Structure 1
């Protein structure tokens, strides 16, 4: 019994002082200013991107804060929240998404009670599926050289950092859009 109590005390003590940093597809983050980082996406490790949450419509998303990213099924656009409004990151004038990608979500409803929080404030009340709750750390997107060439059959809502053009790349199910600061 003493061993169990001692073990639990050590685990709780360690968890209290653990840094809330997550590396996906690699063993560690590159530095202390990163809360979430993805591993290298290449021919050896496989080309992968981050798929954004699919929502029935941006208008139906309540409580979204600036910096939120979504894939809107109403018009098949990748959007982010800026100054209280949704900004379109997709430039396909047809607004058509890959029918196979969209059909995978048909008939499914979002469970708004489910979410994961990474950071110093695990009880963060910000709405979202994945909330990065640090105010001094960033997320590093999956890095892919020329994603339009290397990501085969990407899903609508995929977002990566294009290491060749050094731009944000988003896929709406039909075309890639590229954004540079």
Structure 2
């Protein structure tokens, strides 16, 4: 009962506040809808069987594609590979357990969704609904050396190189603006 009340309160606060800080006490700016605290942690994108089969994907949708083990983003012309043509892996190098096997065994709730901002029917697991606010990625200096055992589909902003960094399970790929 307590868990249900807590979850309801959290979901209600997402809809009311429209600004969320994770791992910190407040959001950095009024133009931010989702902000992450410091630490050597990243944001892990959802894993999908094949991005081409994602129905209703809109421009800006991002996912880790299990078909070729790459991080991709949806554009009007299709899906763009953010892993620079280097396939990754879902096998944890420390435990040798394949994360895809664990994920495939889990039952997905197709209606699960969290929205920050004004709720619309936009498909997605976590949807930032604001038209005038952005998400600030977790900030990590040199993620390739400071994040121990990163998960496939992880994204951070590298404060040392000032680049977007995505991990495909094998290598980090860095993107300039």
TM-score range normalised by the length of the shorter chain: 0.7 to 0.9
Q: TM-score of the superposition, structure 1-length normalised?
A: 0.82
Structure 1 CA distance for aligned equivalents of residues 37 and 88 of structure 2: 30
Asked whether 1:154 is paired with 2:150, we answer yes
Q: Work out whether residues 146 and 165 of structure 1, in 8 Å CA contact, stay in contact via their aligned partners in 2.
A: yes
Q: TM-score of the superposition, structure 2-length normalised?
A: 0.84
Q: Work out whether residues 70 and 79 of structure 1, in 8 Å CA contact, stay in contact via their aligned partners in 2.
A: yes
1:109 deviates by: 4.7
Q: Work out whether residues 164 and 175 of structure 2, in 8 Å CA contact, stay in contact via their aligned partners in 1.
A: yes
User: Which residue pairs with 1:108 in the alignment?
Assistant: 106
Runs of 4+ in 1 over 2 A off after TM superposition: 100-104, 106-112
Q: Work out whether residues 50 and 158 of structure 1, in 8 Å CA contact, stay in contact via their aligned partners in 2.
A: yes
Residue correspondences, number: 159
Q: Work out whether residues 20 and 27 of structure 2, in 8 Å CA contact, stay in contact via their aligned partners in 1.
A: yes
Taking structure 1 as reference, are residues 34 and 153 closer, same or farther at Cα in structure 2, changes over 3 Å only? same
1:106 deviates by: 3.2
User: Which residue pairs with 1:26 in the alignment?
Assistant: 24
Spell out the pairing of 1:1-181 with structure 2 (5 A cutoff). 18-41=16-39, 47-93=40-86, 95-100=87-92, 101-119=99-117, 121-122=118-119, 124-181=120-177
Structure 2 CA distance for aligned equivalents of residues 63 and 84 of structure 1: 14
2:105 aligned counterpart, secondary structure: coil
1:105 aligned counterpart, secondary structure: helix
Structure 2 CA distance for aligned equivalents of residues 57 and 109 of structure 1: 17
- The structure that has the greater radius of gyration is 1
1:67 aligned counterpart, secondary structure: coil
1:71 deviates by: 0.4
1:104 aligned counterpart, secondary structure: helix
Taking structure 1 as reference, are residues 18 and 62 closer, same or farther at Cα in structure 2, changes over 3 Å only? closer
Taking structure 1 as reference, are residues 37 and 116 closer, same or farther at Cα in structure 2, changes over 3 Å only? same
Taking structure 1 as reference, are residues 104 and 154 closer, same or farther at Cα in structure 2, changes over 3 Å only? farther
